[in-house]
Amino acid sequence: MEIGKVPENVLKRAVFKQIHHRRQEVLLPPGVGEDCSVVEAGEGEVFIFSVDPITAVSKGAGKLAVHITANDLASSGAEPIGLMSSILLPPRTREKKLRELVQEMELACKELNIEIMGGHTEISDAVTRPVITVTGIGKAKKDAFISTSGLRPGDELVMTKWAGLEGTAIIAAEKKEKLLETLPAELVDTAVSFYQYLSVVPEASIAAKVGASAMHDVTEGGIFGALWEMGAASNVGITAELMKIPIRQETIEVCEVFDINPYRMMSSGSLLIGCANGNRMVRELEKHGILAAVIGRATDTNDRIIENTCETRFLEPAGSDELYKIYQ
């Protein structure tokens, strides 16, 4: 396709015809010439918004874009309702690629009961690979939304699933041939399958009902970055134990190939929860088949540290995510 707005006939074929899932709150669905969408609010409810770009992934980008945005909303105690997307494609992208991308997003939305409410699609020589920016909208009761900054001294920290989850799936999909030079095919295939764990919507809903004081989805910067960010947002100290942070052997093996620290690698699919009773939170999550572990606690100091047997290291603000090493 040529540079500029996607032609109307392509827009209808490759985008609009792929979008089927609807929600009753959305009063104005996407259409030619429609630059906005209209959403009806319920009494005593608030709307919560989030925006995220996908820039470094070619395989599974549509699915990832939906889940990352839905995870942000769910981590605020919101029910995700819909999203609006901006899709920038490099010149000479085929219509088939756009259609498959939208189909991938629609499938993820259907699984999460989210509606694609509109957006913008363009061919641009400013990008060399697809860039997807998604703005999500969710709703919550006015007195029930949860922030990252709600952590209190004495609260325990619960982590769901495993460190480096998202990054492991991306590396396994993007660098499969390189990994197969040293790792068994079965291990690499299992690592690719981690895409199925990207959503934290179920655990966020459970955590909100059990009494989470704060929630934060573990994205860029990994679990170390998420711990720092929750502590900084709440103005509390953090003490976490490295040996209690769940991690899969597949992640360790994949990261060793590229000399990556898995605890500083993007981990969508994992949720960090602050709560008064960590063991109770873990039990409730496990009742619904969600792996979780108490990994630390909030303190009344300014220190944010990771303990590992006899060694203690200070956490730092997240810098460049470790995943980007695979592109160097």
Q: Which domains does the chain have, with CATH numbers?
A: 4-141 (3.30.1330.10), 148-327 (3.90.650.10)
Q: Which tokens in the block code for residue 310?
A: 């006899």
DSSP-based three-state secondary structure for 155 = coil
pLDDT tens string, the chain, 328 residues long: the values are 878 778 888 888 998 899 889 998 888 888 877 777 888 888 889 999 999 998 878 788 999 999 999 999 999 999 999 999 999 999 999 999 999 999 999 999 999 999 999 999 999 999 998 999 999 999 998 888 898 999 999 999 999 999 999 999 999 999 999 999 999 999 999 999 999 999 999 999 999 999 999 999 999 999 999 999 999 999 999 999 999 999 999 999 999 999 999 999 999 999 999 999 999 999 999 999 999 999 999 999 989 999 998 889 999 888 889 999 998 7
Query: Could you tell me which residues come within 8 angstroms of residue 144 by beta carbon, excluding any fewer than 6 positions away?
Result: 77, 208
pLDDT for 295 equals 98
Tokens standing for residue 175: 């660098």
What pLDDT was estimated at residue 94? 93
Nearest to 251 by CA among 164, 145, 319: 164
Which neighbouring-strand residues pair with 136? 50, 83
Residue from 328, 308, 175 nearest 253 by CA: 175
The reported pLDDT for the residue numbered 32 is 76
* Cα 244 from Cα 267, distance rounded (Å): 16
Return the SS3 of 34: coil
Backbone angles phi, psi at 170, to 5 degrees: -65, -45
Does residue 87 come out as left (phi exceeding 0), alpha (psi in the -120 to 50 range) or beta?
A: beta
Q: Any bridge partners for residue 298, and if so which?
A: 238
Q: Residue with structure tokens 């220190």?
A: 303
Q: Are 136 and 65 in contact (CB under 8 A)?
A: no
Q: Are 306 and 228 contacting, i.e. CB atoms less than 8 angstroms apart?
A: no
Q: What is the pTM of this model?
A: 0.90
Q: What is the pLDDT of residue 216?
A: 95
For the four alpha carbons of 29, 30, 32 and 38, in that order, the dihedral sign comes to positive
Given this model, what pLDDT does residue 42 score? 83
Phi, psi for 219 (deg, rounded to 5): -115, -125
Residue 212: its pLDDT value, please? 97
**CA distance linking residue 266 with residue 171, whole number of Å:** 11
